[in-house]
């Protein structure tokens, strides 16, 4: 049995940002003993102890959906730990070059497109190494050089918020943290034990 | 550095994993969830499930087992089989698949690739290609290979289809080299090298794996991003931890053993 990190029952919600495979994040949390409902209801999100913003697709479409659901101001001001996954992490930054759209502004910087080069194919798809940039509880039990599963074409540059970086051609921010929010550019729900640990560490953040 | 992916492929028919030789004479290998869990625990980097009967039978994939697999897997997985529309794909992705792969339906209606990329992003959209060399020396695509009676040879050249599929929005190409499938004589390096030269998105080699040396060859000589195999893993003749050790020994970056 590999699902050995059990969390006490906690009020965790998944923001329904319209991505197609949110189910897999929900199942990963269930393997940690947490049943996180999928919601776009502002009141439910405000009452949660932990909020997770998954996301697959394009930044402009996701921001448009959050605006439509009237969740932009809520997510900009939420005072509970908020974890953005993949596109959800990118939305935490000030802006994204994907559709040239303003994002939630919880983390400093602008998300840029990864550059293709000989042997560097885009989308960045597969398992790649995490390199520690600074100490964080998010990295508890995650070794330097551990591998996580990435699928993306855009990323945030390494900056003050970067906890761990990854290199695919350029070096980019793989885990970021600041202002009560955290982000994972990889898919923790599909990153084996490393991903499970990241989720468990997020749930444990004070 | 991005690691090379080892991808066990599970051909699914009537709720069980099956395996044929050169796409024929299928025998039952085991239950879907049992094999999925085994490969997860052995260190597979990703799994692909092909519902091989769906396209020839004109039906879509059964989402029940997709959801059960999604609950137990903590590695990515791709589902293929009879996905003919955005609605079909959405059902499979909502059930928990990370990617969907289209093959025969995309040959019938190439704009399907664009519709899927627009709806879900190209990173979700894999185009599977079944390819065989014809007497004139050109590789050409085959359609409906899940059913021998329905299999059709098309005039479309494989390399042209690879270029077109990318232009339409494919985020990854899986090239099934039918001439080497199931016979364990090694991957079709020549064809995969030709495909690699034209493929700017991730390229996955499929067909012909018989031992660790074949994987070393395909990564070093054809520069593919991943290698897919079935029978060599199903029957236990090549274990994934041993394979990864062999690859690492040649300086090929692979995900660490768990």
Q: Give the pLDDT score at B20.
A: 63
Interface check for A152 against chain B (CB to CB < 8 A): the answer is yes
Question: What residues in B contact A196, CB-CB < 8 Å?
Answer: 74
pLDDT tens string A32-65: 999 999 999 999 999 999 999 997 778 888 899 9
Provide the pLDDT confidence category of residue B28 given band limits of 50, 70 and 90.
Answer: confident
Instruction: Tell me the two tokens of residue B252.
Output: 């090929």
pLDDT tens string B226-241: 999 988 998 899 999 9
- Tell me which architecture the domain covering A12-204 has in CATH: 3-Layer(aba) Sandwich (3.40)
pLDDT at A1 over 50: no
Interface check for A151 against chain B (CB to CB < 8 A): the answer is yes
Cα(B6)–Cα(B169) distance, rounded to whole angstroms? 24
Query: How many residues does the structure list for chain B?
Result: 258
pLDDT tens string B133-168: 999 999 999 998 877 888 999 999 999 999 999 999
Q: Give the pLDDT score at A3.
A: 45
pLDDT tens string B53-106: 776 676 777 788 899 999 999 999 999 987 999 999 988 988 889 999 999 999
Higher pLDDT, B5 or B11: B5
Taking an 8 Å Cβ-Cβ cutoff, which residues of chain B contact chain A? 1-5, 41, 45, 67, 70-71, 73-76, 90, 93-98, 119-124, 171-172, 200-202, 223, 225-226, 255-256, 258
CA A11 to chain CA mean position, Å = 18
Task: For B22-37, give one letter per residue: b (16+ CB within 10 A) or e.
Answer: ebeebeebeebeebbe
Nearest chain B Cα distance for residue A77, angstroms: 29
pLDDT tens string A76-89: 999 999 999 999 99
B11 is catalytic: yes
pLDDT at B245 over 50: yes
ipTM rounded to 2 decimals: 0.90
Cβ distance of A129 and B1 shorter than 8 Å: yes
Provide the pLDDT confidence category of residue B52 given band limits of 50, 70 and 90.
Answer: confident
Question: What residues in A contact B98, CB-CB < 8 Å?
Answer: 21, 24, 151, 187, 190
Q: Nearest CB to B96: which of A24, A126, A152?
A: A24
pLDDT tens string B157-212: 999 999 999 999 999 999 999 988 878 899 999 999 999 999 999 999 999 999 99
Q: How does DSSP assign B57-111, residue by residue?
A: HT----HHHHHHHHHH--S-EEEESS--SHHHHHHHHHTT-SEEEESHHHHH-TH
Cβ distance of A191 and B74 shorter than 8 Å: yes
A140 C-beta neighbours (distance < 10 Å), count: 12
Q: Give the pLDDT score at B258.
A: 60
Cβ distance of B171 and A123 shorter than 8 Å: yes
pLDDT at A2 over 50: no
Cα(B123)–Cα(B97) distance, rounded to whole angstroms? 13
What is the side-by-side strand order in the sheet with A181-184? A38-39, A12-15, A50-53, A82-85, A181-184, A170-178, A162-168, A131-132
Q: Nearest CB to A151: which of B1, B123, B225?
A: B123
pTM flag (> 0.90): yes
Q: Which of B107, B239, B223 is nearest to B162 (CA)?
A: B107
Q: Give the pLDDT score at A4.
A: 45
pLDDT tens string A95-138: 999 989 999 999 999 999 999 898 899 999 999 999 999 999 99
User: Average pLDDT, stretch A152-177?
Assistant: 97
Cα(B128)–Cα(B166) distance, rounded to whole angstroms? 12
- Active-site residues of A, by number, are 86, 187, 189
Q: Which of B175, B232, B237 is nearest to B19 (CA)?
A: B232
Question: What residues in B contact A122, CB-CB < 8 Å?
Answer: 200-201
Nearest chain A Cα distance for residue B144, angstroms: 27
């Amino acid at each position: 049995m590999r699902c050995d990190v059990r969390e006490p029952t906690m009020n965790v919600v998944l923001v329904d940002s319209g991505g197609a495979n949110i189910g897999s994040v929900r199942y990963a949390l269930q393997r940690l003993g947490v049943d996180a409902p999928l919601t776009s209801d502002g009141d439910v999100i405000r009452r949660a102890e932990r909020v997770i913003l998954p996301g697959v697709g394009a930044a402009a479409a996701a921001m448009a959906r959050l605006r439509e659901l009237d969740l932009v101001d809520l997510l900009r001001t939420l005072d509970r730990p908020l974890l953005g996954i993949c596109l959800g992490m990118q939305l935490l930054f000030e802006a994204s070059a994907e559709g040239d759209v303003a994002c939630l502004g919880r983390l400093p910087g602008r998300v840029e497109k990864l550059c293709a080069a000989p042997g560097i194919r885009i989308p960045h798809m597969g398992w790649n190494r995490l390199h520690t940039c600074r100490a964080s509880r998010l990295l508890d039990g995650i070794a330097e050089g551990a591998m996580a599963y990435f699928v993306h074409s855009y990323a945030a540059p390494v900056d003050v918020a970067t906890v761990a970086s990854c290199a695919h051609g350029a070096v980019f921010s793989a885990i970021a943290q600041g202002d009560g929010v955290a982000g994972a550019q990889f898919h923790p729900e599909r990153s084996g034990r490393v991903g499970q640990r990241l989720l468990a560490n997020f749930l444990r953040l004070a | 550095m991005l690691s090379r992916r080892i991808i066990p492929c599970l051909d699914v028919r009537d709720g069980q994993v099956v395996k044929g030789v050169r796409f024929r004479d299928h025998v039952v290998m085991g239950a879907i969830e049992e094999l999925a869990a085994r490969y997860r625990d052995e260190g597979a980097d990703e799994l692909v499930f092909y519902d091989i009967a769906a396209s020839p039978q004109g039906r879509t994939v059964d989402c029940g087992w997709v959801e059960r697999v999604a609950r137990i897997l903590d590695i990515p997985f791709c589902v293929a089989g009879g996905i003919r529309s955005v609605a079909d794909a959405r059902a499979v992705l909502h059930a928990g698949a990370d990617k969907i792969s289209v093959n025969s339906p995309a040959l019938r209606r190439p704009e399907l690739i664009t519709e899927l990329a627009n709806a879900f992003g190209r990173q979700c959209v894999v185009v599977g290609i079944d390819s065989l060399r014809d007497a004139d020396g050109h590789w050409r695509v085959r359609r409906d290979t899940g059913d021998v009676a329905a299999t059709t040879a098309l005039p479309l050249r494989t390399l042209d289809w690879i270029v077109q599929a990318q232009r339409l929005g494919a985020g990854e190409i899986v090239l099934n080299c039918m001439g080497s499938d199931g016979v364990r004589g090694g991957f079709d390096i020549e064809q995969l090298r030709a495909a690699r030269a034209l493929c700017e998105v991730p390229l996955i080699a499929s067909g012909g794996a018989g031992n660790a040396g074949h994987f070393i060859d395909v990564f070093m000589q054809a520069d593919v991003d991943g290698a897919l195999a079935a029978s060599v893993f199903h029957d236990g003749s090549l274990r994934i931890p041993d394979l990864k050790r062999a690859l690492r020994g040649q300086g090929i970056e692979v995900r660490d053993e768990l």
